[in-house]
Amino acid sequence: QQQVKQSPQSLIVQKGGISIINCAYENTAFDYFPWYQQFPGKGPALLIAIRPDVSEKKEGRFTISFNKSAKQFSLHIMDSQPGDSATYFCAASTMGQGGKLIFGQGTELSVKP
Amino acid sequence: DVKVTQSSRYLVKRTGEKVFLECVQDMDHENMFWYRQDPGLGLRLIYFSYDVKMKEKGDIPEGYSVSREKKERFSLILESASTNQTSMYLCASTGGAGGPYEQYFGPGTRLTVT
């Protein structure tokens, strides 16, 4: 049973545009929502994360928007650059689970120059 | 600097072989994880370990086993490899200064079973 659903599966954006990736979850006990970024040939790496007590978190060009009532969260990449081309995974976790994460299906982002 | 290493980047094995994938972390992390990554399916948890000699099944443990004899090392074992186990395998660890939730990943092992 997929507890975190991610869309779209792939995304093509022009340089300077906004990339938006969406995730929806089912388990209301989740209390930590990270996004991981994976470049070809590398393992995923933490990009940005949010807890459900805030509705938005921004780090540079990357922003997470969180809607607790809708059980949805999204990643926005402003002024997208070719160097942002990677696969992005959303995830969710519950405190006390030893860091165990439930990942979404992944989004392959391509930013065209 | 945080480091998770995996014994092989690429591996080709025959159906029925016993396969060992090794993972080592140098961060003194308590928790270690094995995932497989397949297109369109994301990262799926195979097994994880909270401590030495401790292991728990993840979402897709069938056909796999694990071993954690030392804190820094977590091994994934395919008892009898099958073609449907052809995949990218990722090891991760968490704990320490980064907090309880950030997972640090190795570069992955791409396994092909023929």
Read off the pLDDT of residues A79-101 as tens digits, 9 standing for 90 and up: 999 999 999 999 998 766 667 88
CATH number for the domain that contains residue B55: 2.60.40.10
How remote is the C-alpha of A77 from its chain's centroid?
A: 10
Could you read off the pLDDT of B64-88 as tens digits, one per residue?
Answer: 999 999 999 999 999 999 999 999 9
Per the structure, the complete domain to which residue B91 belongs is given by: 4-99
Chain center to CA of A52? 14
- Domain count for chain B: 1
B65 against A30, higher pLDDT: B65
Under the banding of pLDDT at 50, 70 and 90, the label for residue B98 is very low
User: From the candidates A6, A88, A100, which should be mutated to test the interface with B, based on the most B CB atoms within 10 A?
Assistant: A100
Given this model, what pLDDT does residue A96 score? Answer: 65
Domains and CATH numbers, chain A: 4-79+105-112 (2.60.40.10)
For an interface test with A, which of B10, B37, B60, B101 has the most A Cβ atoms less than 10 Å from its Cβ?
B101
Q: Which of B58, B61, B101 is nearest to B79 (CA)?
A: B61
Give dist(CA B74, CA B68) in Å, integer.
Answer: 5
- The chain-wide mean pLDDT, for chain A, equals 93
B60 within domain boundaries = yes
**Does B32 reside within a domain?**
yes
Are the C-beta atoms of A71 and A31 separated by less than 8 Å?
Answer: no
CB contact under 8 A, B40 and A9: yes
